[in-house]
Amino acid sequence: MNNSIPVPMNMTYPASLPMSKRRSARAALVDMKESSRLIFAECFRQFGIETVSISSAVSDRLKSEKFEACVVRLGGEAAPVMETARTSPSNNRMVIYGVGGTVQDAMKFSKYGVNAVFNEPLERTSVLKLVRSTQMLVLHEFRRYVRIPVITEVSLLLSDNRKIEVTSQEVSSGGMSFKSTDMIPVGQPLEASFGLLNLPRIWVKGSVTWRNANAKTFGIRFDMQDERRTKVKQWIESYLEN
């Protein structure tokens, strides 16, 4: 059973590059038990990402050291860790992975821009799949990775004035993908409303371009005539530059 979320739809994974061609990258594992640490260390290592276990002085280390990613349990101690990371000049754009929760749990931390979630019990196969789908962002290989995984609440206003709430999976300058129990038909025009970290809530018109009923996911393409979509493009460019 694959418990990891989100899993990008219709995505071809790029081949791994030789370790010598990758820039150095580190992922902080915050208060992970030994069995979990071993799984994460093995999976990240396959993509040239070093893992560093942190169990004390977490805030100090996130302020003083550079990390490209952070893995933290979605519990009471997660908010201070994420707050420190997002306000740190060197780590404010790090990839944040949550552990031990669902999409709904991750929504409690949406203002910190949680990028992806590992469900427990951890399974090596599902952990590896999620790390593989997000490793380009961790390694800053942006030319080959233009979609940003992020979990946040999005309001969709349909053409019949129905309003539904969905959870984002990925965002790009051209559109977004979502997780939802509501299956909207392909071709349905709509208007999406959402915020992304330091990007104030915006509204963008679009239409549904694909859906996967089994996975309860679907994607939209932004309306090329809607100038508001440029704000998303600017946000992504700013995200990648930091």
35 Cβ partners below 8 Å, 6+ apart? 122
DSSP state for residue 21 in the 8-state scheme: G
**Beta strand extents in 151-188 (DSSP E only):** 153-158, 163-171, 175-179
Residue 130, SS3 per DSSP = helix
Encode the chain (242 residues) as per-residue pLDDT tens digits.
444 444 444 434 344 444 444 457 999 999 999 999 999 999 999 999 999 999 989 999 999 999 999 999 998 889 999 999 999 988 988 999 999 877 777 888 888 989 999 988 999 999 999 999 999 889 877 655 578 999 999 999 999 999 999 999 999 989 999 999 888 999 999 999 999 887 889 999 999 999 998 989 999 999 999 999 999 999 888 887 76
Least Cα distance to 154 among 166, 143, 142, 162 occurs for 166
Tell me the pTM.
0.79
Query: In the prediction, which pLDDT does 239 show?
Result: 80
Query: In the prediction, which pLDDT does 202 show?
Result: 93
Query: In the prediction, which pLDDT does 185 show?
Result: 92
What are the two backbone dihedrals, phi and then psi, of residue 164, each rounded to the nearest 5 degrees? -130, 150
Query: In the prediction, which pLDDT does 176 show?
Result: 96
Domain boundaries, the chain: 24-141, 152-241
Check if 24-141 and 152-241 are the same fold: no
Q: How many CB atoms lie within 10 A of CB 70?
A: 25
Query: In the prediction, which pLDDT does 11 show?
Result: 39
**Contact yes or no for 43/131 (Cβ under 8 A):** yes
Query: In the prediction, which pLDDT does 12 show?
Result: 40
Residue 135, SS3 per DSSP = helix
Q: Give CA separation, 238 vs 93, 124, 173, in Å.
A: 10, 33, 12
Q: For 152-241, CATH number? A: 2.40.10.220
CATH class of the domain defined by 24-141: alpha beta
| Separation of CA 236 from chain center | 13
